[in-house]
Structure 1
């Protein structure tokens, strides 16, 4: 990846498109947002693949991330809580949590920050009729 200086931050040109990065939301994505998005996106993608392999059909999967930062240490990310909402039919919460554990072990982004950022996951299910 290559990054280029711009007036209020940096720009990266990636195969999918350009991304602007800045400490000011008016000029691009903030670095902490990209880190949280990487962790949530990786976790959700791996979780979804595992559900597909297990033949667990879902209608929708959403993730809400809550972030705790430490202003005493350069606003360091200390904890990310990922709250999953899984919509489907005949969902087994116990099986979903077991699959979440497998996903956690196979998510490169979570594995990369283990020991420095606490990651918690919670699953809510919405049963469709």
Structure 2
């Protein structure tokens, strides 16, 4: 990736489009938002594939994610909480726990931050 400076931040051109990044939300996505999004969406994509491979039926997956930051250490991201809301009928919690274990092992973004950022993943099943 190659980033070019612009007013208030930086931008890069990617196959999907332009990505604008800035510490100021008026000029682009904030770096921590991209970090949290990367962890959450990577986990969600892997969870989706794992559930499909396990032949577990579901209608939808929603993801809620938030970061806990340490203001005393450059606003460092210390914890990312990722909560999956899985819409499904007759989905066994025990099987979803197994799917979550596989998801954690196979999500490249989670594996990349282990040891420096705590990632807490939870889920709920709704009908």
TM-score, normalised on structure 2?
A: 0.98
User: What corresponds to 1:49 in structure 2?
Assistant: 49
1:82 aligns with 2:102: no
Q: Match for residue 14 of structure 1?
A: 14
In the TM superposition, structure 1's runs of 4+ consecutive aligned residues that sit over 3 Å from their partners are: none
Counterpart CA distance in 1 for 2:126 and 2:94 is: 14
Deviations 1:49-94 (A, max 9, x none): 0111111111110110121000000000000111110001111111
Please, which runs of 5 or more residues in structure 2 have no aligned partner?
none
Match of 1:23 in 2: 23
The alignment covers a number of residue pairs equal to 127
List alignment gaps of at least 5 residues for structure 1: none
TM-score, with length taken from structure 1: 0.96
Partner SS, residue 59 of structure 2: strand
Write the distance in 2 (CA, Å) between the matches of 1:7 and 1:24. 11
RMSD value over aligned CA atoms?
A: 0.6
Is it true that 1:60 corresponds to 2:60 in the alignment? yes
Find the counterpart in structure 2 of residue 108 from structure 1: 108
CA distance in structure 1 between the aligned counterparts of 2:81 and 2:93, rounded to whole angstroms: 18
